[in-house]
Chain A
Amino acid sequence: MIRDQEFLNQILDTISRFVRDRLMPLEAQVAEEGKIPDDVVQEMKELGFFGLTIPEEYGGMGLTMEEEVLVAFELGRTSPAFRSLIGTNNGIGSAAIVFDGTEEQKQKYLPLYASGETIGSFCLTEPDVGSDSAAVKTTAVRDGDHYILNGTKRYITNASRAGTFTVMARTNPEIKGARGVSAFLVDADLPGITLGPVDKKMGQAGSTTCDVIFEDCRVPADALIGGKEGEGFITAMKVLDRGRLHISGVSVGAAERLIGDALKFAMERKQFGKPIAEHQLIQAMLADSKAEAYAARCMVLEAARKRDQGHQISTEASCCKLFATEMVGRVADRAVQIHGGAGYMAEYAVERFYRDVRLFRLYEGTSQIQQIVIARNMVRDAS
């Protein structure tokens, strides 16, 4: 759903210009230094990029899902590290409060996320708990008007910048599965929280992940999101549904960027007396990439509109995540191939994107998990 086309055009225009004129020229530097310059972080705060999905009444832009994926298409065109910086506040790091927080929690935290003053991170994954995320081992034991948290969370995006953590922890050890898990909104400066060293990754240099370790961390009872125990996993799944469409949108944007780079290269590079773009085997790679990226774009928009209309889109979101992230992997591979040896060299952006986009098939549910969700829903709906 697009609330106001002219207004949306202006937002997309500002974002696409910022991406093109400000962020793209910085890509190589960020990859080299592994850090987004502080002034760019500040600029992104001032421009309102941290509050895209936070409701208007809490100082954000309140983008609808359709609007959000259109923005994601634009953000996807540059290094995913930039998107990752604002990604948690616009997604997994704030969404639990947006969906299921109490009014008090919303008033306290959402304006801070929207302005970027506070960065929110999302702590679900653990050393022994990945795809089987309902098996959360981190515990939260009630102690008077506090909960005591113990456990380790793994690969947590933006943890080193975070002011708050949305933490999934087991409040009821009697219930082994999802229903024993609750979600907490934990201030990062509480005693009992330590961060592991920053992880060394394959790509997306400039975005960071690390372990977050809770040792007898006393959290006030009102940190329980929504004020109800046992709802945490349901909250987490709602958060991920929206996140899956967002990542799909970013994948589409990245694919379109890769296709643009590959096409430009193919029209300039000459072999056998003509631009390689005129060789049919290269054309096949360009055409397949274009068609697949277009298919993903259509899927993502359709699913987003459906979600805006209030439909349950768990299946569609997983279809999008599965197709779009696998698609961008194929497109990145072809973009490298079209570049030939140059595609293996760090001088060309496709080399970096090839590594960067690999992540999209892994987090917020691996491709296999998306397949499982889709098929399980199919069987459920048919029986």
Chain B
Amino acid sequence: MKILVAVKRVIDYNVKVRPKADGSDVDLANVKMAINPFCEIAVEEAVRLKEAGTATEIVAVSIGPKQAQEQIRTALALGADRGIHVETDARMEPLAVAKTLKALIEKESPDLIIMGKQSIDADNNQTGQMLGALTAMPQGTFASEVKVADGKVAVTREVDGGLQTVELNLPAIVTTDLRLNEPRYASLPNIMKAKKKPLDTTTPDELGVSTEARVNLLKVELPPERQAGIKVPDVDTLVDKLKNEAKVI
């Protein structure tokens, strides 16, 4: 079984994000970048499937600037077998990413696609679902457990009401939630070995995908600072304040 994992380069989750002075975008100058945590969980799941003998090959894909190769190398160090870098400096919206992945799926014919449920930069939570629609593949989103057997994958999903398990025919798309697994640290010897693993590059153009933006970014600003809360003595006062001061009910 062949698995395709998508990994995205995002601001490291420990970094305090700031807008640029002119508000044109998030300030990325000298900011530490890392693999999106949900993508890391996706890689870990793929590696576990390979270690269990279920999967035979893991291909890690990243779409983004030249430096996104670092995140592919991380995936390779964690256990992916080879990488594909789709190089672009465009601001990639979920639909463009989904189209790019579809083009790669047509080339690679993976049996399972594992990706994060969202990336912590824009938190769109759309790409997996869009990819499902574009490829007509079944999708199991927000996975907290993944079991592959007999040409099918059983995905336990974290939904609002609790857990839901769906069974999907392969090939299928799985998007990972936080509790699916706890990713390992890449060992230093594996980081070294990852240097020698194959990494191919291509571009959206070569794949025949348009990266044209459909959303205009007008301004990036910090949310207003939260005011300190107050304590009210009883429910009546609360209702009164919500009605007459906050005017929300």
List the interface of chain A (C-beta within 8 A of B): 4, 6-7, 9-11, 13-14, 17-18, 20, 22, 43, 46-49, 51-52, 56, 59, 61
Which residues on the B side are within 8 Å of A6 (C-beta)? 69-70, 73
Whether B185 and A10, one on each chain, are in contact in the complex, defined by CB atoms closer than 8 angstroms, is: no
Which B residues are in CB contact (< 8 Å) with A14? Answer: 185-188, 191
- B188: contacting residue among A9, A17, A48, CB under 8 A: A48
Taken together as a complex, chains A and B put the C-alpha atoms of A308 and B208 apart, in Å, by 48
**Which partner residue on chain B sits nearest A56 by CB separation?**
B192
CA distance A51 to B192 in the complex (A): 12
Query: In the bound complex, do residue A18 and residue B73 qualify as a contact, i.e. CB atoms below 8 Å apart?
Result: no
Nearest-neighbour CB distance to chain B for A144, whole angstroms, equals 41
- Can you pick out 6 interface pairs between chain A and chain B where the beta carbons lie within 8 Å of each other? A10-B73, A13-B34, A13-B74, A14-B185, A22-B185, A47-B185
Q: Is B197 an interface residue (CB 8 A)?
A: no
A17–B183 Cα distance when bound, in Å, is: 12
In the complex, how many angstroms separate the beta carbon of B10 from the nearest chain A beta carbon?
14
**Are A11 and B70 in contact (CB-based, < 8 A)?**
no
> Closest 7 interchain pairs by CB?
A48-B188, A47-B187, A48-B189, A10-B191, A48-B187, A14-B186, A14-B185
List the A side residues contacting B70 at CB < 8 Å: 6, 9-10
Does B5 touch A at the CB level, under 8 Å? no
- Give the total number of A-B pairs whose CB atoms are below 8 A apart: 46
Contact B191 A4 (CB under 8 A): no
Interface positions of B from 150 to 198, Cβ below 8 Å from A: 185-189, 191-192, 194-195
Instruction: Specify which chain A residues have a CB less than 8 angstroms from the CB of B189 in the assembled complex.
Output: 48, 51, 59, 61
Contact B188 A52 (CB under 8 A): yes
8 Å CB contacts to A: which residues of B72-97?
A: 73-74, 77
Chain B residues with CB under 8 Å of chain A are: 14, 34, 69-70, 73-74, 77, 185-189, 191-192, 194-195
- Closest-CB distance, B201 to chain A (whole angstroms): 15
Please name the residue on chain B nearest to A49 by beta carbon: B188
What is the CA–CA distance of A317 and B150 in the complex, to the nearest angstrom? 63
In the complex, residue of chain B having the shortest beta-carbon distance to the beta carbon of A59? B189
Residue of A nearest to B77 (CB): A10
In the assembled complex, which residues on chain A have CB atoms less than 8 Å from the CB atom of B192? 7, 56, 61
Nearest B-chain residue to A71, judged by Cβ: B188
Write the nearest CB–CB distance from A114 to chain B, whole angstroms: 9
Most chain A beta-carbon contacts within 10 A, residue among B34, B69, B192? B192
Selected from B185, B187, B195, the residue in CB contact (under 8 A) with A7 is: B195
Measured CB to CB, the nearest residue on chain B to A43 is B185
A7 — nearest CB in chain B belongs to which residue?
Answer: B195
Report Cα–Cα, A52/B191, bound state, in Å.
Answer: 12
Interchain CA distance A22-B195 in the complex, whole Å: 26
A11 to B189, CA, bound (A): 10
The distance from the CB of A189 to the nearest CB of chain B, in whole angstroms, is 27
- How far, in whole Å, are A17 and B74 apart by their CA atoms in the complex? 13
Whole-angstrom distance between the Cβ of A71 and the nearest chain B Cβ? 10
| Cα(A22)–Cα(B74), bound, Å | 19
Alpha-carbon gap, A46 to B185, bound state (A): 10
Query: Distance in Å from the Cβ of A18 to the closest Cβ of chain B?
Result: 6
* C-alpha gap A22/B182 in the complex (Å): 13
Q: Which residues of A contact B185 (CB under 8 A)?
A: 14, 17-18, 22, 43, 47
Nearest chain B residue, comparing its CB with the CB of A9:
B70
Distance in angstroms between the alpha carbons of A47 and B77 in the assembled complex: 11
CA distance A114 to B189 in the complex (A): 10
B194 to chain A, nearest CB (A): 8
Q: How many angstroms between the C-alpha atoms of A18 and B184 in the bound complex?
A: 10
**Cα separation A43 to B188 with both chains bound (whole Å):** 12
**A116 CB, nearest partner CB in chain B, Å:** 12
Name the distance in Å between A161's Cβ and chain B's nearest Cβ. 21
Given A4-B195, A61-B192, A10-B74 contact (CB < 8 Å): yes
In the complex, A287 Cα to B192 Cα: how many Å? 39
State A4–B111 Cα separation when bound (angstroms).
35
Q: Known contacts A20-B14, A59-B189, A61-B188; can you find 14 more A-B pairs with CB under 8 A?
A: A4-B195, A6-B73, A7-B191, A14-B187, A14-B188, A14-B191, A17-B185, A43-B185, A46-B187, A47-B188, A48-B187, A48-B188, A52-B188, A61-B192
Q: In whole angstroms, how far apart are the Cα atoms of A181 and B76 in the complex?
A: 48
User: In the complex, A18 Cα to B77 Cα: how many Å?
Assistant: 15
What is the bound-complex CA distance between A48 and B191, given in angstroms? Answer: 10
> CB-nearest residue of chain A relative to B35?
A13
User: How many Å lie between the Cα of A20 and that of B15 in the bound state?
Assistant: 13
| Min distance, Cβ A23 to any Cβ of chain B, angstroms | 11
Shortest distance from the beta carbon of A5 to any chain B beta carbon, whole Å: 10
Which residues in B have their C-beta under 8 angstroms from that of A7? 73, 191-192, 195
Q: In the complex, which of the residues A6, A17, A47 has the most CB atoms of chain B within 10 Å of its own CB atom?
A: A47
Nearest neighbor of A15 in chain B, beta-carbon distance: B188
Give the most central of A10, A47, A59: most B CB within 10 Å.
A10
- In the assembled complex, the CB of B92 is this many whole angstroms from the nearest CB of chain A, namely 22
A11 with B187: CB separation less than 8 A: no
Query: In angstroms, how far is the closest chain A Cβ from the Cβ of B61?
Result: 18
A11 touches B191 (CB 8 A): yes
Nearest CB of chain B from residue A370's CB, rounded to whole Å: 31
